[in-house]
């Protein structure tokens, strides 16, 4: 009931949302790696540069680490991310024989998550992004905004780890609402429920929020 009311109020505030498939799964996987520890603008720039430089994931897999790092320099931590991308692509190709993750759409959700999490450096957030945004699966990736807002709303305990939050929140949100919940919570965290100086006086969730001041 509380999740339903939160979603209703956030929809009134930000408008209706349709579940949209963004990129192919490999692209989302690489883009999520590039988004780590940098701004959205920088990670998007790095992703575009990588695609422009190589044209395909097969070409990225065949390139050396220095070449990949050079193409993603604008995203920060280029050497670390280049090595991780190379390791991930190599592991996928060794396990599947090709760079294609579409098979994950047919697996039970828990198995699809486990398969992705065996890849080097892939945690619950990255796995959730691939499943939610590229395969239309109701996996809920928890970023810093969702984690913060969920704690302030009392949806999860303040002592819960980000990793545990994925499981707890995913179990709370109906599968058909996972996409909109993710989008609304990120939006709300960016606009209103900021890490520093939250704008509580503008919050549509004030009546539901135990942290309201």
**pLDDT tens digits for range 94-136:** 999 999 999 999 999 999 999 999 999 999 999 999 999 999 9
**What is the pLDDT, as a whole number, of residue 194?**
97
The answer to whether 109 and 137 are in contact (CB under 8 A) is yes
Does this model's pTM top 0.85? My answer is: yes
Indicate if 58 and 144 belong to the same structural domain: no
CATH number, domain with residue 112: 1.10.340.30
Indicate if 123 and 152 belong to the same structural domain: no
The torsion angles phi and psi of 98, rounded to 5 degrees, stand at: -160, 170
**What is the pLDDT, as a whole number, of residue 39?**
87
Indicate if 115 and 102 belong to the same structural domain: yes
pLDDT < 50 stretches in the chain: none
The answer to whether 43 and 31 are in contact (CB under 8 A) is yes
Among 81, 86, 113, 125, the active-site one is 125
Domain that holds residue 123: 25-135
Answer yes or no: is 110 within a domain.
Answer: yes
The answer to whether 102 and 61 are in contact (CB under 8 A) is no
The total number of structural domains in the chain stands at 2
Indicate if 109 and 41 belong to the same structural domain: yes
86 labelled catalytic = no
**What is the pLDDT, as a whole number, of residue 161?**
94
Question: Cα(61)–Cα(23) distance, rounded to whole angstroms?
Answer: 18
**What is the pLDDT, as a whole number, of residue 187?**
97
**What is the pLDDT, as a whole number, of residue 1?**
63
Indicate if 12 and 29 belong to the same structural domain: no
Classify residue 98 as exposed, middle or buried by CB count within 10 Å of its CB (0-12, 13-18, 19+). exposed
Taking the chain, what is the end-to-end CA distance rounded to the nearest angstrom?
23
């Amino acid at each position: 009931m509380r999740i339903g009311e939160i979603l209703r109020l956030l929809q009134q505030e930000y408008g209706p949302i349709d579940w949209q498939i963004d990129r192919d799964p490999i692209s989302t996987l690489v883009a999520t790696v590039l988004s780590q520890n940098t701004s959205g603008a920088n990670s998007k720039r790095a992703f575009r540069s990588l695609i422009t430089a190589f044209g395909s994931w097969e070409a990225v897999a065949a390139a050396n680490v220095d070449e990949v790092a050079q193409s993603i320099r604008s995203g920060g931590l280029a050497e670390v991310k280049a090595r991780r991308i190379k390791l991930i692509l190599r592991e996928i190709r060794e396990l599947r024989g090709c760079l294609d993750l579409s098979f994950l759409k047919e697996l039970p959700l828990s198995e699809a998550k486990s398969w992705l999490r065996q890849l080097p450096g892939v945690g619950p957030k990255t796995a959730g992004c691939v499943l939610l945004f590229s395969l239309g699966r109701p996996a809920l990736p928890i970023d810093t905004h969702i984690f913060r807002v969920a704690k302030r709303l009392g949806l999860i305990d303040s002592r819960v780890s980000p990793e545990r939050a994925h499981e707890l929140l995913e179990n709370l949100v109906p599968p058909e609402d996972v996409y909109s919940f993710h989008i609304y919570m990120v939006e709300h965290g960016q606009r209103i429920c900021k890490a520093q100086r939250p704008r509580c006086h503008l919050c549509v969730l004030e009546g539901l929020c135990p942290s309201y001041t």
